Amino acid sequence: MAVIRVELAGRGYDVHVGHGLLEEAGTLAADFIRKTRVAAVADRNSHAHHGARLEAALAEKGVRVDWFITEPGEQAKSWAVLEKLVDWLLELGVERGDHIFALGGGVVGDLTGFAAAVLKRGCGFVQIPTTLLAQVDSSVGGKTAINTAAGKNLVGAFHQPSLVLADTATLDTLPPREMGAGYAEVIKYGVLGDADFFAWCEENGAKVTARDPQALEYAVTESVKAKARIVAEDERETTGTRALLNLGHTFGHALEAETGFSDSLLHGEAVALGMVLAARYSARLGYIAADDAERVTAAIAKAGLRSEIAELGLSCSGEKLAAHMLHDKKMDAGTLPFILLGGIGEAFVDKQVEMADVATFLDGELRKD
């Protein structure tokens, strides 16, 4: 088991990574349980797969769990569900000094974290992420949000959890496609800031997605270490460091928008394709060698992810994809910052990218054989 500290003045917290951690939740989370009952949020799937394990672990300490169970999927990140959740928490008498438990993927974590941020002006929460994507990305760093009619994650708060328990055994029940989507965020840490870790991913990606316990634990641990470093340096994404985590997201967002944010392209799958595009666009601008861009492409393909946007069969133009990007919430004073590569492991923010050139580049990618 690994314990990674997210160093934040006065609000630092530990992320535990290990196989079978859920059984130890009563002990590991003891400092965050003050009463004989805790409120926990899960979706129907995470509750069915892991709810009894959490209940048993807390029962060992004489603690019972009250559940708020959502339908799986992004729809749970809505004003309506947030309202129900907050009313339920108030009815239970949850106080500012209490901690709410979030057992599930990014949707459950984002919803619960945002409810915790606003309940009584901010109470505590504990993240127990049960998807690879949530373990390596969304459960760490305190971004919480719901979606609105205008777009995804447009209403939210920075609110850090008090503890994260990433039990890699919970990934045993994750569908293979979601393993792949989560793995895209693992590779991302190598591509953006750690060439050695990227080389490790090139060798071991298939083992991670096949859930080899050692490879999986190593991949999650290294990813969390990278995220913890970045969050400690730039918690609120103001200096440009945290923005590097958006590698692949601007191109990916355009693909998600074009496919209607539907199951035909999961977020992590869009990020994987977005990383390929960011790497190839960096090569087009002469920032990296074309061979390095193709190394990124090959590592993504080797993990079983789609690596060519032509495979999506989109009939739109590059200009239309570029237009989607301008609705990205990362727009800043009329410019769209792109995360590009100066080398593998050397991402940087480029605020001078010309959208007309991006559109031409995307036309070429859309039509590739």
- Which residues bind to ligand GLY, rule: CB under 6 A? 137, 141, 143, 242, 245
CB of 237 to ligand GLY, least distance (A): 6
Q: Annotated catalytic, 64? A: no
Burial class (CB in 10 A: 0-12, 13-18, 19+), 319: middle
Q: Annotated catalytic, 229? A: no
Marked catalytic residue, from 225, 253, 280, 295: 253
Contacts of 91 (CB under 8 A, 6+ apart): none
Residue 85 tokens, joined: 């959740």
Q: Annotated catalytic, 267? A: yes
Asked if residues 113 and 142 have their Cβ atoms less than 8 Å apart, the reply is yes
**To the nearest 5 percent, what fractions of the chain are helix, strand and coil?**
55, 20, 30
CB of 249 to ligand GLY, least distance (A): 8
CB of 92 to ligand GLY, least distance (A): 29
Marked catalytic residue, from 227, 258, 269, 365: 227
Q: How many CB atoms lie within 10 A of CB 334?
A: 6
Q: Annotated catalytic, 351? A: no
CB of 261 to ligand GLY, least distance (A): 16
Q: Annotated catalytic, 237? A: yes
> Which CB, 151 or 213, lies closer to ligand GLY?
151
> Which CB, 53 or 112, lies closer to ligand GLY?
112
Marked catalytic residue, from 50, 242, 280, 295: 242
Q: Measure the CA–CA gap between 70 and 44, rounded to whole angstroms.
A: 6
Backbone angles phi, psi at 52, to 5 degrees: -65, -35
Strands 151-158 and 143-148: antiparallel
> Which CB, 137 or 194, lies closer to ligand GLY?
137
> Which CB, 134 or 358, lies closer to ligand GLY?
134
Q: Annotated catalytic, 49? A: no
Catalytic center residues: 121, 143, 185, 227, 237, 242, 246, 249, 253, 267
